[in-house]
Every structure is written in structure tokens, then in C-alpha cells.
Amino acid sequence: MSIQEKYDSFVEYTRELSALDAAESLLAWDQQTYMPPMGAESKSRQLATLSGIHHDMLVSDTMKRHLDELANGDLDKLGEDARVNVREMKRAYDHASRVPTKLVRDIARAQSLGMEAWAEAREKSDYKIFAPWLEKLLKLKCEQADAIGYEESRYDALHDEFEMGSTAKRITSVFAKLRDELVPLVDRIVNSDVAKAQKIPARDYPRAKQEALGRELLTAIGFDWKAGRIDVSAHPFCTGNLHDVRLTTRYNEKDLTQALFGLMHEGGHGLYEQGFDPAHQGTPRAQAVSLGIHESQSLMWENIVGRDRGFWKFAYPKLQKHFAPTFDSVSPEEWYKEINKVERSFIRVEADEVTYCLHVILRFELEVEMIEGRLPVKDIPEAWNAKMKDFLGITPKNDAEGCLQDIHWSHGIFGYFPTYALGYLYSAQFYNQAKKDLPGVEDDYAKGEFGRLLGWLRKNIHQRGMTYAPHDLVKVVTGEELDTKYLIDYLTKKYTPIYEL
């Protein structure tokens, strides 16, 4: 059998694994959107079964044989794409083969039931309902980390699943620098005369009109509705790949920005998923390299583009049309300042650009303490509130706006949170480079033209899939290592004139 034939057989097996993963994602999407309340138990068994099958196939003798044959063959004849696919599947195999199938099934089942407990606890704002499940999930994930192995911190084994090559030590250093810049910037803004004078009147925003506006704006930036859809969930998310991308949001008829920018955010994720090369579907070459890079795409469209003056020169007439006559007496400049309001707030997904990363750093620091055994589950609400006070100067009134607001821990997802802030750092640095490569690109937005920016992202980030590790991709695209200065410069230049600092 030739090296090409061996590789083709390997790719077919890899695509079978990808199909199983897609089925798991679809079940999870159903659980958060349309599943009836009594379906949780059966859904947990379905997810656990598929997760176990996927794991068994990934660590099977068949996969080992494929990898061994390709490692012993002349893989260079097949080119870079083949090297990337073999390298990343070998990495996944090495990672998964250390974790027993029973543990994989136990985690999947606990994730499904833990999410249901979290939903009840959040609704009732009662952490004690969720705490036993968090204890169980934390124990299982620590077992997983120990099985995988690590050099410095148990946290690294879990975080590497989402941001390959990153470590708690490296993140701690980057985040400390970012926090030291952000905390005084927030103080200057919220204590400014402009901030003290801000009074935004309450308005009514019917859900149907929000949906219509959201779809129109996502269409404008390039989301393909033949390959995607929107639904509603308790916690907004994006799932799927290439030709089947599912977005969700949640609506608040007293707050337009929640769903509007939530959709721009998830739409950014969706554009990334729709932007891979279809020729490589089902392989690492058509998958996101990391959650941080994924988040860079959502934050770019939600904030850097979506809250830009030029964007709203194009979008404001559409806003007025959908909500007439609500905005007849509101100027575009007033709206621009309203959507760029900075304030100390409790909910991460609704936080403004300047305070957002502080919410993420808080969660990262707590996670590291939890995983390393320094923070007992029972003490999490108190620790959460203390850090919220230190970072943002406010204290949550209840568990729902405190430690129960995010769904991630109910899924057993530890090591994920830092990717949100890393994504913001990547986003600012990528966007800075895009402006250099695309002179006048920001002038395009006022005309409703976003193709040049999307094309740049397709070429430089989306279609490269997992070719480069995240830190290498930053260097390839921008010529530099990741640097906090680009995000700080962006925020400072934007908000200094808005708040007359």
C-alpha cells in the first residue's frame, strides 16, 4: 500500500471520528434548546454513550496502526496539510490514550446532569443545589488531568485542551500585566464627569424586532444562512462546522444590546466555523486551532467592528426602521456612546469592552486555585465575591449574578475561561495588522461593506485551521509575540475621547 493510500485510509477514519463529535455537539445543542424538561436523564446517557464510542475509536488499535504507518512512511511526499492532520491526530491520540474510557463516560454523564442542576440552581439563585455536582465534576476533571500528566500545574493539562502550548504560569504573567492596566483605566472612566452624567432611559424592544435586526446585521457581515441558524438558549453559544453552524442567543425586551451584541459575538464564531476549507472537512485542517483564536473572531465582530462608529453609520438607519419610532429622538452619536458605556457590572456576557477581561481574570484565578486544591467548593461564592470587590469594586447580591452566572463549570469545563481574555488580546493584535494590510478598511463599514475584512480573516486565520499553534499563528500573522499593548492602546484611544479623560 502506498503512502497516499495509507493516508487516505487514515483521513477516512478521522472523518468518522469527526462525525461522532458532530453528533455529540448536536445532542448538546438539542439539550440546551428544544429538549423537554424530562429528557435530561436519557440525554445524559446518549451523550455518555457517544462520548465513550468516540474515545474508544480515538485510542483504538486502528488509530495507532494508522499513526504508526504514517510515522514510518515518507509523509513529506504528501505536503503540509497531511503533516498537520497527522500531527494533530497524534497529539489527540496521545492525550486521550492516557484517560480510561470509564472516566470519559463518567465525565460525560456528570456534565449532562450537572448542567441540569446548574440551571435549577441559577433559576433559584441557590449555589447549594449545584455545589455537590461541582464537587463531583471537579474530582473527575482532576482525575483526568492526573491521567494526562503535566509538568508544572495540574491546570495545564486541562487548559491545553483549549489553548495548546499555553500554561497557567504564562497566563498568570500576561493577565497580571493586563489587570494592572485595566483596573486604573476603569476607575478613571467610571469616576469621570461624563460617566456620572450618563442616564440612559429604559425602552421596550419586542423580541421579534430584535430577531429581525440581528439577522439583517449578521447577513451584512457575511454569515451564510444556508449553512447556519439561530435559536434561543439560557447561555448563548455557537456549535457546528462549515455547512451546519448553530448560533443561540437570549432576549431581554428591556435591553436590546444583550441579544444584539450576543448575536454579533456568536456570529463571529460562526463566520470562523463557516470559513474553513471544505476540502479538509472532518480533519484538523478544517478545525479551530484553539478557543482563544476562536474568541478573537467573535470579539472582533462584536466589539471592535460592532461597536465602531463607522459600523453604526451603516446600521443605525436599520435600527431606527425596526424599532420606529423609538429612536427618532436619539442621535447616532448618542447611540454610539450608549453602546460603549463602561460600568462596573456583575455579568460577564453583558460586560463592556473595558471591564470584560477583569471578569475573565477573576474566573481564571479561581479555577487555578480549585484545580490545585487550594479553594474548596463550599468557599467559591465567598471567594468569587471577594475578587469581584477587588477587581471591580462591587459585590454580587446573590449567587445567580455571582458564581452561578456561567454554564462552563456545570459542563466540567475547566481551563476554558482564560481563552476569553486571550481572545481579546489576539483580536486587538490581529485587527491592528489587518488595518495595516487593508488601508481604509474602517471606511468600508459605513457603506455596509465587510468583505475585505472577512476575506483577510479567511486567508490569514480561518483557512489555516490547525496549521499553527496559537502563539505561532500570532507571530505568522503579525510578526510579533502576543503583546497586551495592542488591546490597551485600542481601549485607551477609543474611550479617552468618549469619557473626556
Separation of alpha carbons 412 and 334, rounded Å: 42
The answer for residues whose C-beta is within 8 angstroms of residue 41's C-beta and 6 or more apart is 113
Which amino acid would we find at residue 422?
A: L
pLDDT at 350: 82
By the 10 Å C-beta count (0-12 exposed, 13-18 middle, 19+ buried), 326 is classed as: middle
Helices (H), 372-440: 380-392, 418-437
The answer to whether the CB of 288 falls within 8 A of the CB of 238 is: no
Separation of alpha carbons 208 and 200, rounded Å: 23
- Nearest to 379, CA basis, from 131, 172, 110, 115: 131
- Cis before residue 332, ω within 30 degrees of 0? no
Catalytic residue among 24, 88, 266, 365: 266
3-state SS, 95-107, equals: HHCCCCHHHHHHH
DSSP-assigned states of every residue in 447-485: TT--HHHHHHHHHHTGGGTTSS-HHHHHHHHHSS---TH
Separation of alpha carbons 317 and 265, rounded Å: 21
pLDDT at 477: 98
Separation of alpha carbons 20 and 104, rounded Å: 15
- Nearest to 315, CA basis, from 203, 181, 424, 219: 219
* Cα within 13 Å of Cα(138), Cβ side: 21
Separation of alpha carbons 84 and 317, rounded Å: 46
Separation of alpha carbons 189 and 184, rounded Å: 9
Residue 91's alpha-carbon distances to 52, 84, 336, in angstroms, are 19, 11, 46
End-to-end Cα spacing for the chain: 69
How far is residue 286 CA from its own chain's centroid?
17
Per-residue pLDDT of the chain (501 residues; tens, 9 = 90+): 899 999 999 999 999 999 999 999 999 999 999 999 899 889 989 998 999 999 999 999 999 999 999 988 788 889 999 999 999 999 999 999 999 989 988 998 898 899 899 999 999 999 999 999 999 999 999 999 999 999 999 999 999 999 998 999 999 999 999 999 999 999 999 999 998 877 767 789 999 999 999 999 999 999 999 999 999 998 889 999 999 999 999 999 999 999 999 999 999 999 999 999 999 999 999 999 999 999 999 999 999 999 999 999 999 999 999 999 999 999 999 999 999 999 999 999 889 999 999 999 999 999 999 999 999 999 999 999 999 999 999 999 999 999 999 999 998 999 999 999 999 999 999 999 999 999 999 999 999 999 999 999 999 999 999 999 999 999 999 999 999 999 999 999 999 999 999
pLDDT at 196: 80
The answer to whether the CB of 120 falls within 8 A of the CB of 407 is: no
Residue 501's alpha-carbon distances to 334, 344, 493, in angstroms, are 18, 17, 10
C-alpha cell at 431: 485587527
Q: Which helix (H) or strand (E) holds 248?
A: strand 244-249
C-alpha cell at 303: 466589539
The answer to whether the CB of 277 falls within 8 A of the CB of 401 is: no
Residue 151's alpha-carbon distances to 98, 221, 471, in angstroms, are 15, 43, 19
Sheet holding 228-232, edge to edge: 228-232, 244-249, 238-241
Separation of alpha carbons 391 and 369, rounded Å: 17
Active site residue 266: yes
By the 10 Å C-beta count (0-12 exposed, 13-18 middle, 19+ buried), 272 is classed as: buried
Separation of alpha carbons 430 and 462, rounded Å: 12
The answer for residues whose C-beta is within 8 angstroms of residue 185's C-beta and 6 or more apart is 354, 488, 491, 492, 495
pLDDT at 77: 87
CB atoms inside a 10 Å sphere around CB 309: 15
The answer to whether the CB of 358 falls within 8 A of the CB of 181 is: no
Rounded (10°) CA dihedral 241, 219, 296, 453: 110
The answer for residues whose C-beta is within 8 angstroms of residue 3's C-beta and 6 or more apart is 70, 73, 74, 75, 77, 78
The answer to whether the CB of 384 falls within 8 A of the CB of 396 is: yes
Separation of alpha carbons 90 and 63, rounded Å: 9
Separation of alpha carbons 215 and 228, rounded Å: 11
